[in-house]
Amino acid sequence: MKAEIIAVGSEMLTPFRQDTNSLYLTEKLNEIGVSVHFKTIVGDRQRDLVAAIRIALGRVDILVLMGGLGPTEDDLTREAVAEALSLTLRRDAQQVGALAARAAQWRIPMPSNNLKQADVIEGATILPNVNGSAPGQWLDTTVGKHRKLILLVPGPPNECRPLFDAECIPRLRALLPVRHIAKRTLRAAMIPESQADKLLAPIYTTYKDVETTILAHAGDIQLTLLCAKSNAEAAQARVDELAVRMEEALEDWLYSSGGASSESLEQIVLYYLGLRQSTLAVAESCTGGMIAQRITGVPGSSRSFLGGAVVYSDALKHAFAGVPPELIAQYGAVSAEVAQALAKGIRIRTGATLGLGVTGIAGPGGGSEAKPVGLVYIALSDAQKTEVAERKFRGDRARVREWTAQQALDLIRRRLR
């Protein structure tokens, strides 16, 4: 079955706002075997919207309209669907009551405009919206000789997504042939994108029945394998077979090959820290807190992560990580020696099992011929040894910092594995 998603709202035609609901809806539709063939964004103009609806009904079986269900003059989706299909709108008495009750509950007067939200397209079913006042609508109709399903869902993500899950997916599933979806997500760190492609393309392209998606960002590669079959075990077997072959190809770049959901690199680092009953502390210069921030973004991270220091000034490198000023004077703040001293110093100061030290030149200023922008040193220290890695990352300040944080977390993972 083919679907189109129409996002309604002039704000999504500005440089400032983007439709993001459609990614969520696409995922849910894909999982029940519906593929999205078109996405359209239309402003709050009824004529444009009517035309877009007619075009969509000419090319897909399922049309999801998102937004334009509120109480304002600009909310025109109900009116446009009715016009496009020459259907009437009737004001639903029960919905009027629900709107009045809602207004009373919030102790706000109900503007007459609000009643628009009780207008229901001829033949449509009302879909309750537990998080907002505008209900969704489900219209199962025919255009020419073709059956068409038209779904109206509210625009705000906290209304759209729960309503879609609770009201739309079960109704669609009941109408569609039973398909079982198997899914696996693999993740790898710091493998060059071109190398990943070279290693993996010859493998996954031979699995025509498994849809493989590769996403890459700042040293992180995420592979999603999706297979839909009428038989659940057969789908799972295909996905697992492909996953095993990819895992082998990715060797130790692979850091997560969990189930359907994906684990982040910081989650894996925390997992290994827990497993080894180890603790971590960090001394960050050029990443300025980014590594600590990623780790502490994971709930429960306090069990293994003690904290650390953002040692932006040379004085703090000394005060918090005990780096001797002479060492900085001799080798410079961005040097293998200082990174090692940071890692060792923060480990000893905090009593952590493992200390991480990071120093580098994030740019745009501060670079020289000998030490260009993008040069970083990342050191890792435990009771046995202190090791340091030198890297040169390209790109702007944000990019150098992101790659450095990713590389640092990956070095910790490799040490703990």
Residues 139-158 that bind its own copies (CB under 8 A): none
Q: Is residue 278 near its own copies by the rule CB under 8 A?
A: no
Spatial CA neighbour of 315 closest among 324, 306, 302, 307:
324
| Gap between the Cα atoms of 237 and 243, Å rounded | 10
* 126/187 with CB nearer its own copies: 187
Q: Does 80 bind its own copies (CB under 8 A)?
A: no
Closer of 118 and 200 to its own copies (Cβ): 200
Nearer to its own copies, 295 or 379 (CB): 295
Contact between 74 and its own copies by CB under 8 A: the answer reads no
- Asked whether the beta carbons of 63 and 29 are under 8 A apart, the reply is no
CA distance 337 to 329: 11
Which of 24, 207, 271, 331 touches its own copies (CB under 8 A)?
A: 24
**How is residue 386 written in tokens?**
């202190």
Q: Does 218 bind its own copies (CB under 8 A)?
A: no
Structure-block tokens of residue 367? 């670079």
Residue 17 as a binder of its own copies (CB under 8 A): the answer is yes
CA–centroid distance for 414 within its chain = 25
> CB of 120: closest distance to its own copies in angstroms?
28
Is there binding between residue 109 and its own copies (CB under 8 A)?
Answer: no
Residue 395 found at the interface with its own copies (CB under 8 A) = no
Choice between 136 and 360, CB closer to its own copies: 360
Contact between 417 and 272 under an 8 Å Cβ cutoff? The reply is yes
CA distances from 281 to 160, 277, 330 (A): 41, 14, 26
- H-helix or E-strand containing 222? strand 220-229
Q: Does 315 bind its own copies (CB under 8 A)?
A: yes
According to DSSP, the β-strands at 211-217 and 220-229 are antiparallel
Is 224 a binding residue for its own copies by CB under 8 A? The answer is yes
Q: Is 351 in the site for its own copies (CB under 8 A)?
A: yes
Interface segment toward its own copies; rule CB under 8 A; list 106-114, 161-169, 270-278, 290-298: 290-298
Name the one range near its own copies by CB under 8 A: 237-245, 252-260, 291-299, 323-331: 291-299
CB of 174 to its own copies, least distance (A): 22
Q: 3-state class of 369 per DSSP?
A: coil
Integer Cα distance of 206 and 384 in angstroms: 46
How many residues sit close enough to its own copies to count as binding (CB under 8 A)?
72
Least distance to its own copies, CB of residue 323, Å? 12
Residues 6+ apart with CB under 8 A from 15: none
Q: How far is the CA of 239 from the CAs of 185, 204, 224, 243, 264, in angstroms?
A: 10, 10, 10, 6, 21
The answer to the question of residue 138 lying near its own copies (CB under 8 A) is no
> Which residue from 1, 26, 115, 245 is in contact with its own copies, where contact means CB under 8 A?
26
